[in-house]
Amino acid sequence: MRYFFLFSTLLSLNLIADIFLSSPKIKVNDQNQRIIEFRIEKETIRDGDIVINEYKTKDPINDTFIEYTLINDFGNFQTFSIVLANEYQEDYFSFNIAIKESFSKDIFIFLPSKARSSNVITNTQMPTKQTESIKANIKNNDNENIKESKSKNKTVEIFKSGDITTVWSMAETIKGNNKNISIYQVMWSIYLGNRVAFIDNNINLIRKDIDILIPSFAEIEKISYQIARDSIFEMNNSFADRLKSASKSLLVLTAPKVIKDVAENQDTNPKIENKKQIDFSDSIDPKSLIEQNTKEIRLAVDNQMLDDLTAVPGEVTQQNQDQFEIFDLIFISLISLASGILLALIFIQVRKMRPSKEINYDFDEAEDDDSSLSSLPSDLSIKNDEDQQQLDLAVTYFEMNDKDNAKSLLENLVQTTSNDEIKKSAKNLLDKVEKL
């Protein structure tokens, strides 16, 4: 039964253990093929358990990129090798590796340049006729390459600077109804082929004074969709962050409020009318003379002054209310204090009026007789002996098999007691405790 539980435990641990995948190692074999090799532990891998997908997706990778894959078993570990095809000329390789649907990891690695490795020339001695034929073949190949490049240059399209609006609209126009390429691949190919036309190396900032070269569809299809999409999103995020920081640092200018001239509506100075010359030659009634020469003058008073004057009564009423509230609080506190004192006096009187619990007997009580205590020993002491109590408590702990408490009490008792008998008993008991 014990072995069965041990076997089940080990089996469960093996099932729970995570798959270990080492970092990729890059090699080049004798056929000049680039090999990506992984080391796998804690899991047994068979054919079909590993699936290679596109980078950060679950779409199967293009089979033309990979020549074949190989699994080697070394007992304690296994190796998984990816041999890239000679047609794959890029200096990087990005993919997603999935193992038994329980492990998935995105990998982006740089590869040794295929162009450099293929351009290595070995210096060997050859016959003169053979070297001449090789040179002739090289010249023919060069002429063919020049013709092909000229023909390709003839097919290169150019997007005029006057027709440029945004990179997205250009990419939509170029893509058309072609389903083999995405708009992200078109945008990224335009950016890679026309870096000078972009401001601060940002795909969102394109100049409109430079013609744009449009790559062919074959070159666009070679660009990885995932890399193009991630790169464009990263540029968009950095561009948005820069716009946010720039908008925060802008100085916001607001128009001043319209100031109405008080002098236009109200004249602060009294209007002085033209004085009329009064003729005293005729007899004029004094009353009518005063009324004719009396004018009512209205002056425009500053609004702040009027506000201060109108606010004075409000402040006075507020102060009066505050005074009344303080007076009310004082009055209520005095009433509460008086009522408390009155209630205390009432309770004292009520307790005094309660009937006494003393019992009055109609006969005399018997006097205490100490003769009943005469039978006790005269040398009996009722004084507490702390050392004896500590010893009794240690004995109790010893009987209860409480070794720690008994030992601490006995050691303390041996050091502090002055009674030799108690000290001797404590030592004997301590020896018994230590033998437990």
In-domain check, residue 342: no
Query: Which residue, 50, 85, 113, sits at the end of a domain?
Result: 113
Query: pLDDT tens digits for 394-434?
Result: 899 888 888 888 888 888 888 888 888 888 888 898 888 88
In-domain check, residue 152: no
In-domain check, residue 127: no
Q: How far apart are CA 95 and CA 101, in angstroms?
A: 16
Per DSSP, 179 falls in state S
105 and 199 together in one domain:
no
> 414 lies in which domain range?
386-434
Q: Decide: helix, strand or coil at residue 95.
A: strand
Its pTM stands at 0.28
* Total domains, the chain: 3
178 and 241 together in one domain:
yes
Query: pLDDT tens digits for 183-217?
Result: 899 889 888 888 888 888 788 888 888 888 888 88
Query: Reading across the β-sheet that carries 103-110, which strands appear in turn?
Result: 50-53, 92-99, 103-110
Per the CB < 8 A criterion, the answer to whether 424 and 410 are in contact is no
Q: How far apart are CA 50 and CA 108, in angstroms?
A: 17
The CATH number for 55's domain is 2.60.40
Q: Decide: helix, strand or coil at residue 158.
A: strand
99 and 161 together in one domain:
no
Is residue 325's pLDDT more than 50?
Answer: yes
Per the CB < 8 A criterion, the answer to whether 55 and 135 are in contact is no
Least confident of 28-32, 34-38, 111-115, 404-408: 111-115
179 and 87 together in one domain:
no
